[in-house]
Structure 1
Amino acid sequence: MTETLALVESPAQLLNVLEWAHVHPGEASSLGIAVLQPTDRHSREQVRRLCRFASQARLVWRRYEVRSGAVSRAHTLLRLGRSVSGAQRLVIGDLFSRTVQALLPFSKAREVVVVDDGTATTELVTLLTQGQSLSRWHQGEAPRKSDGKGGSVGRWLSRDTLERFAFFTCMPVSPPPGALVVPNEYRWTREAFGPVRVHGGADLAGSSLVETGIIDRQHYLEAIGWIARSRGAQRYLAHRRESPEKLREIAARTGMEILHPELPMEVMARVEPIGHTVLTFASTIAYTLPIVLQDSPVRVELCEIDDTWITEGTAARSVDFLRKISTLAVDRHGLAKVPPQRSLPPARNA
């Protein structure tokens, strides 16, 4: 049994466990990382590359296929449950995850650390503080008040046997009562990789807001074309969840080179040449790249989203969340804003 067990399901979560381990070497001496494998090819490749870095840092990790069928999933969860029950410290990447939530009843951990899972961290903190049940912001439905303790996750976090609860995050959050915030300054990434190499053009970071149904596809494609022309973007850094069809259309419309990063953007920006300007819509990298690239001349600029791009039927909660993370990113890092071009009529269909 390992004293400290990390549960991660994405490249971003795994990266931030490496960051946590780097600044907590004592606790990390007993760390085992359970990688609950994602299904899409690009995420799996990024996880594979990060596992190699974990091995170089002498961290122990193991992959688990938790999405390979009902029988296999049940057996895997039982195996994981035994590991979870023996851990005195849990490091968790995604408390919204149904897989992680299924494992929590096994746990008797005295300490819980939640590492960054991107901008979802801000929503998690808000829901736990307000005692609401956990549901992801882009799913649209309003979170239920439940019993005022945040549902099963909130009750698990409020048990008497839990001695310490912390967020390891770069996000500007105020912790729920009884919790701590430990700043994630991406020290491992900044110390392990670099110096930053800058190429002459601008890079445009892709977004999965079309795939999640928040932004109308045609409006997004037109916005990408306008940004590429007006800002001189030469490369499009595809989000790992973007559809191949959309990426082909972006390449045909703009002439930009489509890249599929084999590492999370935070690491890629220090390992491979990066544009003198990185353009991004409301996303995690609007918070992380200014930290990772603070010793470089690279500028991060935020592309604003016009209300007319939002698909009909998108919940007000989702729109409010996008506005919130945009405002917080600009305020926190002083990002320049790229205003939207307005030319198409409002979106009517998802």
Structure 2
Amino acid sequence: MQHPRPAPRTTDPRATSQRVAGALVESPLQLLCTVEAHAAGFGGTDTHVHVRDDVPALGDALSAVRELTLPEGLTFDLAGRRSALTAREPVWLVGDAFSGLFQATAPLRRPDRIVLVDDGLATLELCRLLVRRDPLVRIGSTVRAPRRRLGAVAAGRLRSLAADGRVTIFTALPLGPDLTTGLRAQGFDVRHNRFGWLTAQPADAALPEPTVVVGSAMAADGLIDADRYVDWIRSLAKESALRYLPHRRQTPELLAALAEIDGVTVDAPGAPVEIRLRGLRAGQRVVSLPSTSTILLTTIISPLGVPVTALDVPADWWTPRASADHRAHLTSVVELARQARAAAEDANETDSPEANE
């Protein structure tokens, strides 16, 4: 005989009493969203952030974050993966639920709560897999049976904790009503990240170029033709001078080709674009191929009158390596960016006091 599962907890998951949280950060975006989660009260009164020490872009991102006014209670260490293996904080903030490290340790942990923060479009796929009750396997990846079983165990662990009201998904992505309803039906606490901490920080000086292009990793990942990508940047530079912000996985060869184009200034890798572009003003624009940054930047800078545009990838740019599912997953960003823009406009009109809820 099966016994009914107890109703999930309905208390607010934000920290109202003394508690300690830990976070494993493996990318600049995870770092930024972890700080936002802590600032919004979804971490601990003290949150220890374990930053991977073998990702060069993370060092730049951490330096940029530390230059801002951090919320109280945050500490950082650069022992990342090693610390995460032994850390036992009662609240655990996770950016990449597809990582082998998380999936290997998830069954062994007994956290009071897990908070899932954004890790790009992978967060959207994570939510879809949880609703469908599928194993947590990255889209487009080919894995063997043992790895798939590990993904199934990790998914089951998250759903079990969610049924007890112990998992929060803190995301800036517009999940849509069907996905949100499906998650909440399983007990997941879904909260919207409006970047309240970052938008309250003093803005940096504006870049002088009227157009800013946020670089895409699709060429480096072999999903689109690199020559077509360079030609696209060249066509934009004929319209106006532009600043190019590289993706952390773009190759030196591609960046060298872009730097040779008249009117293009290629920035060095550094802070997350969400931090670097806060100083843009009306009259400037941000352009990108489909990426999570277009969605997040829409939330952060479109209220300043700066349009953020995610362009569809032309059909003849795709390489055979890009599967139909992969293409659909990436191009869905265009619609998500539109939804984020509509949500930002609604938030401005209502001036809602429920930011970050």
Where on the TM-score scale, by shorter chain, does this alignment land: which range?
Answer: 0.7 to 0.9
Q: 1:264 aligns with which of 268, 272, 278?
A: 272
Whether contact under 8 Å (1:16, 1:115) holds in the other structure is: yes
1:53 to 1:332, Cα distance in 2 relative to 1, 3 A = closer
Q: Match for 1:126: what amino acid?
A: R
Aligned partner of 1:44 in structure 2 is 59
1:222 to 1:34, Cα distance in 2 relative to 1, 3 A = same
1:198 to 1:313, Cα distance in 2 relative to 1, 3 A = closer
Aligned partner of 1:320 in structure 2 is 328
Bigger Cα displacement from structure 2, 275-284 vs 184-193: 275-284
1:164 CA drift (Å): 1.6
CA–CA distance in structure 1, aligned partners of residues 121 and 96 of structure 2: 11
Whether contact under 8 Å (2:57, 2:248) holds in the other structure is: yes
Please give the TM-score of this superposition, normalised by the length of structure 1: 0.81
CA–CA distance in structure 2, aligned partners of residues 98 and 202 of structure 1: 39
CA–CA distance in structure 1, aligned partners of residues 131 and 333 of structure 2: 18
Q: Match for 2:229: what amino acid?
A: Y
1:54 to 1:83, Cα distance in 2 relative to 1, 3 A = farther
Whether contact under 8 Å (2:91, 2:111) holds in the other structure is: yes
Per-residue CA deviations over 1:298-344 (Å, capped at 9, x if unaligned) read 22122221011000242111111012122221243169xxxxxxxxx
How do 1:1-350 and structure 2 match up within 5 A? 3-24=20-41, 27-39=43-55, 41-51=56-66, 53=68, 57-64=72-79, 66=81, 76=82, 79-84=83-88, 87-139=89-141, 151-159=152-160, 162-173=164-175, 174-175=179-180, 176=183, 177-194=186-203, 197=206, 199-230=208-239, 232-270=240-278, 276-333=284-341
CA–CA distance in structure 1, aligned partners of residues 151 and 99 of structure 2: 14
Per-residue CA deviations over 1:76-134 (Å, capped at 9, x if unaligned) read 2xx533323xx221111110111222332331012111011122211110111112222
Helix, strand or coil: the match of 1:158?
helix
1:217 to 1:274, Cα distance in 2 relative to 1, 3 A = farther
1:195 to 1:251, Cα distance in 2 relative to 1, 3 A = closer
Aligned partner of 1:344 in structure 2 is none
Gapped runs of 5+ residues in structure 1?
A: 67-75, 336-350
Whether contact under 8 Å (1:90, 1:113) holds in the other structure is: yes
CA–CA distance in structure 1, aligned partners of residues 108 and 314 of structure 2: 45
Task: List structure 1 runs of 4+ shifted beyond 6 angstroms.
Answer: 140-144, 272-275
CA–CA distance in structure 2, aligned partners of residues 266 and 44 of structure 1: 16
1:162 CA drift (Å): 4.9
1:211 to 1:200, Cα distance in 2 relative to 1, 3 A = closer
Q: Match for 1:156: what amino acid?
A: R
CA–CA distance in structure 1, aligned partners of residues 303 and 322 of structure 2: 39
Q: Match for 1:63: what amino acid?
A: L
Q: Match for 2:59: what amino acid?
A: R
CA–CA distance in structure 2, aligned partners of residues 152 and 331 of structure 1: 33
Bigger Cα displacement from structure 2, 198-207 vs 49-58: 49-58
Superposition RMSD in Å = 3.1
1:46 CA drift (Å): 1.6
Whether contact under 8 Å (1:206, 1:239) holds in the other structure is: yes
Gapped runs of 5+ residues in structure 2?
A: 1-18, 344-357
Q: Match for 1:267: what amino acid?
A: I
Please give the TM-score of this superposition, normalised by the length of structure 2: 0.79
1:56 to 1:182, Cα distance in 2 relative to 1, 3 A = closer
Whether contact under 8 Å (2:290, 2:311) holds in the other structure is: yes
Helix, strand or coil: the match of 2:24?
strand
CA–CA distance in structure 2, aligned partners of residues 142 and 273 of structure 1: 49
Whether contact under 8 Å (1:235, 1:259) holds in the other structure is: yes
